[in-house]
């Protein structure tokens, strides 16, 4: 479970609120899709949930743990795939996974087993002994996904996780997301690909100008069955924050 209560954030170098008074709860067993145009506040929200940024006000809880009060315990529960691929480029893939495994205190034997399992699943085994800097965009994305899942976190936070993945790997990941949610865990999923969000997510939240415009199940948001999520999204985000509630 992830709970955000009245969370606001303004960057030090800006006067505009990147996220304003955001209150949101993502329940266990749910895949939550987080949508919004560029600069709407999606990444800022994700960075605050993962502990990368501190909110100016409000409370963020991950599985009931306040991330500001107990960051280590809260972060241990999260598996995070960022939207960029900025990582330790001069490490080999296997060294990076070893590093992540150690940071999450995974015993050596278990780590070895999970590395083999996930690398096989995403077709990355042969590339792991190579330097990350030699990886293609898709290979880096696969590595980030494996690194996020390797400690079997309760909460998955995936920022554009399907970008660059080949169809097989994208399918695998979607299957994993569903399986993870069915086991009573939480998946927070951000994407620009509305079709995928429509197919995968149980509930959707749309953010614009730092404010949560709407949050509900897809059917409830749509009201009219003939309206696609895409046209709905364009209407909501074009008219400002108060046009649709």
Partner 1 sequence: MKKFLSLVKLLFVQQYRTKPTEGKKRRGGTIATYIILAVCFTPMLISIAIAMYGVGKISQGLEGGGTNICAMLIFISQGAVLLFGIPTLISNVFTVKDADKLLFLPIRSSTIFAAKLTVAYLNEVITTAVMLVFMLLPFGIGYSAPVGFYFLLLLALVLIPMLPMLLGSIIAVPMSALITKIGKNGVVKTILQVLMFAIIMGAYMFAMYEFGFIGGSEEGDPTDMAQMLLDKLQGMGAMMKYVHSDYTLAAAMLGSTFSVVIVNLLISVAENALLVALVIAMSLPFYHRMLTTSVEGVGGRSRRKAAKVTLEVKNKGVVKELIFTDLKRVMRESQMGFQCIMSLIMLPLMVVVFYFCFNISGEGDQSIVEMFKGQALYQGIAPIIFLSYMSLLGMSSNVLGIYPISRENKAIYLVKSLPVSFNKYLLAKVILATAVMVISDFVMCVLIVALFGVKWYFGLAMWFAMAALGFGGMCITTLIDLKSPKLGWTNFNQSLKNAKNSWMALLVAFVVSLVLGTISGVCLLGWYLTNTSWYMLLIMWVLIIGASVGFAAVSYKIMTKNAQRHFDNIEP
DSSP 129-176: TSBGGG--HHHHHHHHHHHHHTT--SEEEEESTTTT--HHHHHHHHHH
> Which residues on neighbouring strands pair with residue 187, listed in sequence order?
31, 156
Contact present, 162 and 196 (Cβ < 8 Å): yes
**97 is an interface residue for partner 1 by CB under 8 A:** yes
**38 is an interface residue for partner 1 by CB under 8 A:** no
CB closer to partner 1, 3 vs 9: 9
CB of 13 to partner 1, least distance (A): 8
Contact present, 123 and 135 (Cβ < 8 Å): no
**47 is an interface residue for partner 1 by CB under 8 A:** yes
Q: Reading across the β-sheet that carries 2-10, which strands appear in turn? A: 17-26, 2-10, 57-62, 65-66
CB closer to partner 1, 45 vs 98: 98
Contact present, 84 and 163 (Cβ < 8 Å): no
- Could you tell me which stretch among 25-33, 88-96, 180-188, 227-235 binds partner 1 (CB under 8 A)? 88-96
**102 is an interface residue for partner 1 by CB under 8 A:** yes
CB of 215 to partner 1, least distance (A): 24
Residue with structure tokens 């999204």? 233
Query: Of the candidates 53, 193, 196, 218, which one interacts with partner 1 according to CB under 8 A?
Result: 53
- Could you tell me which stretch among 24-32, 51-59, 182-190, 230-238 binds partner 1 (CB under 8 A)? 51-59
Q: Collapse the DSSP code of 53 into the 3-class scheme (helix H, G, I; strand E, B; otherwise coil) and give the result.
A: coil
Positive or negative CA dihedral for 172, 178, 179, 181?
positive
**88 is an interface residue for partner 1 by CB under 8 A:** yes
Applying CB under 8 A, the residues found at the interface with partner 1 are 11-13, 47, 50-54, 71-76, 78, 80, 82, 84, 86-88, 90-91, 94-95, 97-108, 111-112, 115-116, 119, 125-131, 133-134
């Amino acid at each position: 479970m992830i709970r955000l209560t009245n969370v606001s954030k303004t960057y030090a170098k800006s006067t505009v609120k990147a996220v304003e008074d955001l209150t949101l709860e993502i329940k266990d067993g749910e895949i939550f899709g987080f949508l919004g145009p560029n600069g709407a506040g999606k990444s800022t929200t994700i960075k605050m949930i993962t502990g990368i940024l501190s909110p100016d006000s409000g409370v963020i809880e991950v599985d009931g743990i306040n991330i500001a009060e107990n960051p280590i315990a809260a972060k241990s529960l999260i598996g995070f795939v960022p939207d960029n691929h900025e990582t330790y480029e001069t490490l080999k893939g296997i060294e990076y996974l070893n590093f992540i495994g150690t940071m999450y205190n995974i015993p050596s034997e278990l780590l070895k087993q999970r590395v083999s399992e996930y690398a096989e699943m995403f077709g990355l085994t042969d590339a792991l002994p190579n330097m990350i800097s030699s990886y293609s965009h898709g290979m880096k994305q696969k590595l980030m996904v494996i690194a996020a899942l390797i400690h079997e976190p309760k909460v998955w936070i995936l920022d554009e996780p399907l970008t660059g993945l080949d169809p097989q790997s994208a399918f695998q990941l979607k299957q994993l997301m569903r399986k993870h949610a069915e086991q009573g865990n939480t998946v927070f999923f951000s994407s620009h690909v509305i079709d995928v969000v429509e197919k995968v997510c149980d509930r959707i939240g749309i953010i614009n100008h730092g404010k949560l415009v709407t949050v509900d199940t897809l059917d409830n948001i749509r009201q009219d069955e003939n309206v696609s999520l895409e046209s709905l999204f364009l209407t909501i985000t074009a008219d400002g924050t108060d046009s649709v509630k």
